[in-house]
Amino acid sequence: MASGLWRFCLLALALIFGLERRYDKAMVSRLAVLCMLLAVSSFAQTPSTTTPPALRMFHDPALDITFGFPGEFTPVVADPAKAQPATKGDKGEPQCVRSVLTAGSESKLGSSAFVISVIDSACPSVLKQAQQPGSFTRDQILRQLKTYGAASLTQEPFRYTIDGRQAAVTLAMAEPNDTTMGMHKATTYAAKACFFSNVPAKSSGKQGAAMSDQVICFDYTTQNRELMTRILSFTVKFSDQETHPVVPGNAVR
């Protein structure tokens, strides 16, 4: 169990560092606290045959969005009011990706981790790329998985909508190689889904719909292929609207 715990920590850290060069450094320190909490709980756990807990909810007041995730995941930010706002980096450069929530799960089946992040106008060039969720998820997941070894797609970008908002999800995997860091000696499986935070308003003239000024991304990583189906359990709710799956069932083939 302990070795699996450290695999999770490496998974989550690699996710955060892989999001963008100007990542949320505050999230890294919170992840370290999470790893210590998981370490304590893992040694205290006894074998159990109980069913996994129901979905847990996390509401981000700034986005006015509620995320639902499987109850076996332990979040870094348990209190949304304590979530770190967007800030500037050490050298004053804008923070291009703001981490909203990071969580991990350690079970007999293996370790899993996910990160929910926001990309906004702080970095116009990055936002412009993210506004094309199909190509963005494809390019980013391959770049992020290089941390784990030789990366390849297992499913091309699948485009869909979430309550009228453009979205896409891409699946990939990485086989360990000579450049694999640390304990990553197993195949890593991942999914990346990105979607607009709001329904773009229609612009006048022939330009069509204006682009959303915020893109939300969901990164999920595990070392057990069977656990990839967990991505279908994550939900999102915009304001007081209906709840929708982050990744619809027909998106995973």
Summarize pLDDT for 155-194 with one digit per residue, the tens: 999 999 999 999 999 999 999 887 665 555 789 999 999 9
Give yes or no for residue 230 having a pLDDT over 50.
Answer: yes
Give yes or no for residue 222 having a pLDDT over 80.
Answer: yes
Residue bearing the bigger pLDDT, 46 or 149: 149
* C-alpha to C-alpha distance for 144 and 21, rounded to whole angstroms: 11
- Looking at residue 33, its pLDDT comes to 46
SS3 call for 79: coil
Give yes or no for residue 202 having a pLDDT over 50.
Answer: yes
Mean pLDDT for 225-249 is 95
- Looking at residue 87, its pLDDT comes to 46
What is the overall mean pLDDT for the chain? 78
DSSP conformational letter for 131: T
Q: How is 176-242 classified by DSSP, letter by letter?
A: --TT--TT--S-EEEEEEEEESSPPPBPSTTS-BPPPSEEEEEEEEES-GGGGGGGGG-EEEETTS-
- Looking at residue 47, its pLDDT comes to 41
pLDDT digit string, tens, across residues 109-145 = 888 999 999 999 889 999 999 999 999 999 999 999 9
- By percentage, how much of the chain surpasses pLDDT 70? 66
- Looking at residue 248, its pLDDT comes to 95
Name the residue among 147, 156, 166 with its Cα closest to residue 23: 147
The structure tokens listed for 250 are 């027909």
Residue 217 pLDDT level (bands cut at 50, 70, 90): very high
Kindly list the domain boundaries of the chain, sorted by start residue: 2-45+54-251
Domain 2-45+54-251 indexed as CATH 3.40.630.30 = no
- Looking at residue 96, its pLDDT comes to 86
pLDDT digit string, tens, across residues 2-30 = 444 445 555 555 555 455 544 444 444 44
Q: Which pTM was predicted?
A: 0.77
Rg (CA), the chain: 18
Are 170 and 143 contacting, i.e. CB atoms less than 8 angstroms apart?
no
Most confident segment among 145-149, 155-159, 199-203: 155-159
Are 151 and 142 contacting, i.e. CB atoms less than 8 angstroms apart?
yes
Let me know the angle formed at the C-alpha of 168 by 95 and 153, rounded to the nearest 5 degrees: 95
